[in-house]
Amino acid sequence: MQPFLEIKDICLSYRSLAGETEVLSHISFSVSPSEFVAIVGPSGCGKSTLLNLISGLLQPDRGEILIHGQPISEHSANVGYMLQKDQLLEWRTIYQNTILGLEIRHQLTPSKIEKTKQLLTQYGLSAFRNARPSQLSGGMRQRAALIRTLVLEPDLLLLDEPFSALDYQTRLQVGDDIGQILRKESKPAILVTHDIAEAISMADKVLILTKRPSSVQKIVPIHLDISDRTPLSSRNAPNFKYYFNLIWKELNQNGTPVQ
């Protein structure tokens, strides 16, 4: 099967008056259609930079990023990006927030409005349609942000530490919710996280990056011995701990604490 996304030998340095910072060094990996990939690595190693390259916000110095075999610049891939801060606008209601992207793209058609309302109901937010973001819990806000992203029907989802601002209990719940939503949508997704357990519980494979200048240290495919896998149930799989220890050791070999 042709991969959905191919990252081929990517290098990137930031240049400023103060000098040059080499961030990514010969990074290669691929993502299959509907595969969920988690990326872990030391703080400042270039994880967000890598997502910015994949979204087309930055251009690599070297290497190629292909979607369905075509360079991203030529492919009109629709990439959904979710960040740690949900970026909901307080002066808009939850419903108005979820349609923001559609408004900006002039895609506010009756069928898209219907789809938005359906997602709000499906993900337990219809009673909060007219509420302001500050009236919602952190987990509900993240779900609203996810709906705003999903109604744009992205071909690929990029998630940059989307749960790290939430407390532990909420993070487990929201991670489980969002993981299940993404499985249902069966879209390819890339999750950057500093939480090893979160990476294993959600991903089909975990990409471990070295410290900067960052290269791929190891790619760990995750095969959990569990039926009806969800992010929460994954944590009870007998071999969950095996993967945790493996990734923990790899990151510690890195010599820098993970974040």
User: Residue 21 or residue 32: which is nearer to ligand ADP going by CB?
Assistant: 21
Query: Taking CB within 5 to 8 Å according to partner kind, which of Mg ion, ligand ADP, none is near residue 43?
Result: ligand ADP
Tell me the residue ranges of DSSP E strands in 36-181.
Answer: 36-40, 62-67, 70-71, 79-82, 156-160
Q: How many CB atoms lie within 10 A of CB 21?
A: 15
197: Cβ contacts below 8 Å, ≥ 6 apart: 235, 240, 244
- To ligand ADP, the closest distance from the beta carbon of 63 in angstroms equals 16
Query: Taking CB within 5 to 8 Å according to partner kind, which of Mg ion, ligand ADP, none is near residue 44?
Result: ligand ADP
For ligand ADP, which stretch binds (CB under 6 A), given 1-9, 43-51, 182-190, 232-240? 43-51
Is 230 a residue that touches Mg ion (CB under 5 A)?
no
User: Residue 75 or residue 211: which is nearer to ligand ADP going by CB?
Assistant: 211
The tokens describing 17, both together, are: 């008056």
Q: Which of 7, 27, 31, 45 is the binder for ligand ADP (CB under 6 A)?
A: 45
Q: 216-254 in b/e burial notation, b at 16+ Cβ within 10 A?
A: bbeebebebeeeebbbeebbebeebeebbebbeebbeeb
- Phi/psi at 10 (nearest 5 deg)? -80, 130
Is 43 a residue that touches ligand ADP (CB under 6 A)?
yes
CA distances from 166 to 85, 98, 201 (A): 10, 20, 17
Q: How far apart are CA 250 and CA 162, in angstroms?
A: 23
Q: Which of 48, 170, 180, 230 is the binder for Mg ion (CB under 5 A)?
A: 48
Residues of span 152-211 touching ligand ADP by CB under 6 A: none
Selection from 149, 156, 175, 146 nearest residue 32 by Cα? 156
Asked whether 247 and 209 are in contact (CB, 8 A), the reply is: no
Distance from CA of residue 109 to its chain's centroid? 27
Residues of span 7-26 touching ligand ADP by CB under 6 A: 14, 16, 21, 23
User: Residue 120 or residue 145: which is nearer to Mg ion going by CB?
Assistant: 145
Q: Which of 7, 29, 46, 254 is the binder for ligand ADP (CB under 6 A)?
A: 46
Residues of span 209-238 touching ligand ADP by CB under 6 A: 212
User: Residue 49 or residue 234: which is nearer to Mg ion going by CB?
Assistant: 49
For Mg ion, which stretch binds (CB under 5 A), given 47-55, 80-88, 137-145, 194-202? 47-55
Q: Which of 3, 33, 44, 56 is the binder for ligand ADP (CB under 6 A)?
A: 44
Asked whether 17 and 185 are in contact (CB, 8 A), the reply is: no
Query: Taking CB within 5 to 8 Å according to partner kind, which of ligand ADP, Mg ion, none is near residue 59?
Result: none
Binding site for ligand ADP (CB under 6 A): 14, 16, 21, 23, 43-49, 212
Binding site for Mg ion (CB under 5 A): 48
